Amino acid sequence: MLKDMPERTLPFRTVPSRRPCLTAVLRMAGLRPTKQRVALAELLFSGHHRHVSAEELHGEAQGANVNVSLATIYNSLHQFREAGLLREVAVDASRSYFDTDTSDHHHFYLEDEQRVIDIPSSAIVIQNLPEPPRGMAITHVDVVVRVKRAR
């Protein structure tokens, strides 16, 4: 359903109260719209695309008086990802960001600021990909370009 939307537009931006819409989005993604999931979806899908870590979302939840543990945030983010509502950008073994833009694109990782910004998919040409192992198909290729302030 989200795939049919024009790029960089979320389906619930123009709806005055997004709660019923978010409930429907969660249901369509196969997730039971629990109070916590709807509250987290409200924080995540605020009308513009963003990249957020579990810790950042936890801080936002606390700021919005949404009482959820960091473990619940992790679980919910992974459930949203598995349901296709988010994409995970893993910058290293211990650090992931969750992207509300699930379309194909790449990222700069700003090492000094520990945040990611988008690179349009058309800006990187990927050539000479190896044949996937027998019986497998490539689902997507995402590139993380790591940068830090030049000295």
Inter-CA distances, 75 with 68, 79, 92, Å: 11, 6, 19
Closest contact distance (angstroms) between CB of 119 and Zn ion is: 8
Q: Which is nearer to Zn ion, 88 or 101 (CB)?
A: 101
Q: Which is nearer to Zn ion, 56 or 118 (CB)?
A: 118
Closest-approach residue to Zn ion (CB):
99
Asked if 88 and 96 count as a contact pair (C-beta separation under 8 A), the reply is yes
Q: Which is nearer to Zn ion, 62 or 114 (CB)?
A: 114
Helices of type H across the chain: 19-28, 35-44, 54-63, 70-82
Q: Which residues bind Zn ion (CB under 5 A)?
A: 99, 101, 118
Q: Which is nearer to Zn ion, 58 or 99 (CB)?
A: 99
Inter-CA distances, 22 with 26, 33, 39, 60, 134, Å: 6, 8, 9, 18, 40
